[in-house]
Amino acid sequence: MGEEQLALTHVGEHQGDYLNAVTPPVFLTSLHIFDSMEEYRNHKETGAYVYGREGNPTVEILEQKVAALERGTRAVAFSSGMAAFSAAMLAVCKAGSHIICMRDVYMPVKGILNGYFIPRMGMSVSYWDGRSLEELESLIRGNTAMILLESPATFVFSVVDIAGVAQIARAHGIRTYIDNTYCTPLYQKPLDMGIDIVMHTMSKYIGGHSDIIGGILAVKDEVLGQALYEQIRPWFGGILGPMEAWLAIRGLRTLNLRVEKHQETAMAVAAFLENHPRVEKVYYTGLDSHPQAALIKRQQTGHTGLMSFVIQGRPDQAMQVVDKLKVFEIGCSWGGFESLALCPLTGATQEELDFLQLREKDRGLIRIHCGLEGADVLLEDLEQALG
């Protein structure tokens, strides 16, 4: 933890470069100027900043912290998680590439695959349930370029054998991408398990205060990192803004404290729900009843504040429970200070449920994020809403 603590609080910061201010400035500048044409011409060699679409000193502090936390050689920050995902796709794939994608990845990822990369770029996608490595291997084709993972995924918190997938992918020369947002860079280190590209959505725990949109990629491979930093991001133009970077830097300073608290509260809430007579099932990575508990213990060092549960009853009754919650607000995001609840699947078609391999009962799934209000308040709120 010592090294990580330093990354959260100090790495990338050079107070002497900004008048010994203890926190770095928000470098709200679109360009950097030069003393001579000679210096301008040599900017690549000297590493000088030139123009804000290519790089920004505040953004770079954030990138150095996340690279250190993920044990990568480079991190590259984007204006959203989806911009970061798109950049990863554009860096690795080409027209006609075949992708293998886990079934329960973040829905807009499937949206852009089905709505853009397949019809407009001639790509093809095979969906994988994330369980059998033999099945994964059988899906590989000659033109498979990338495997898309999210672990844990955020409806029923299925996890995938990250090292197992990485090993198969490497043997076939296929790149791997994982959405590591749920675990934060603290509780899971996919690059160490052989994954090529790790993504974090910074509106969740990294930002932590529900006040920014941003995404970041971390990689070990220097060639891939350089392609993302020098080509894909400036070409497509999706760099994170300096104000958002500054807020993310501030978020990181307390990330370890916050996720510990989210975890502690969520553990208490999950145990309460699991023992509640009106609750049929709880989905949380911290429970021993999780069907993949052994794998989770092997590759995750912690859990955060997000879980789902299903009540004994119909989906409309689940919605009533959510409506009755007072401390939990109704909202679709997570990772901030506030507790949130939502029924994300009540409108799902049968086809969508089947695709996700969920039960009819899961249509009434209630997803909750346990914020920083403390377990007592949340248990009381859940008790009255379920009563």
Ligand X SMILES: *Cc1c(COP(=O)(O)O)cnc(C)c1O
Alpha-carbon span 317 to 310, nearest angstrom:
10
Whole-number minimum distance, CB 384 to ligand X, in Å? 28
> In which residue are the tokens 């990485």 written?
166
Nearer to ligand X, 203 or 304 (CB): 203
- Of 179 and 381, which has the nearer Cβ to ligand X? 179
CA pair distance 104, 355, nearest whole angstrom: 9
**Count, residues in the chain:** 387
Rounded to whole angstroms, the Cα distance separating 295 from 312 reads: 29
Nearest-CB residue for ligand X: 81
Q: How far apart are CA 252 and CA 327, in angstroms?
A: 25
Element (H, E) at 314: none
Residues of this chain that bind ligand X (CB under 6 A)? 80-82, 106, 150, 154, 179, 181, 201, 203-204, 213, 215
Partner residues linked to 176 by β-bridges: 147
Bond from prior residue into 108 cis (ω within 30 degrees of 0): no
CB of 252 to ligand X, least distance (A): 16
The residue assigned the tokens 């504040």 is 305
Cβ nearer to ligand X, comparing 166 with 216: 216
Sheet bearing 175-179, strands edge to edge: 74-78, 215-219, 197-201, 175-179, 144-150, 98-102, 124-128
Pick the closer one to ligand X by CB: 106 or 328: 106
Residue with tokens 């044409």: 37
Of 82 and 219, CB closest to ligand X: 82
Please state the closest distance from residue 216 (CB atom) to ligand X, in A: 10
CB of 188 to ligand X, least distance (A): 13
CB of 179 to ligand X, least distance (A): 5
In the complex with ligand X, which residue's Cβ is closer, 12 or 207? 207
* Closer of 12 and 335 to ligand X (Cβ): 335
Burial class (CB in 10 A: 0-12, 13-18, 19+), 337: middle
Shortest distance in whole angstroms from residue 117 CB to ligand X: 16
Shortest separation between residue 106's beta carbon and ligand X, angstroms:
4
CA dist., res. 250 & res. 162, Å (int): 30
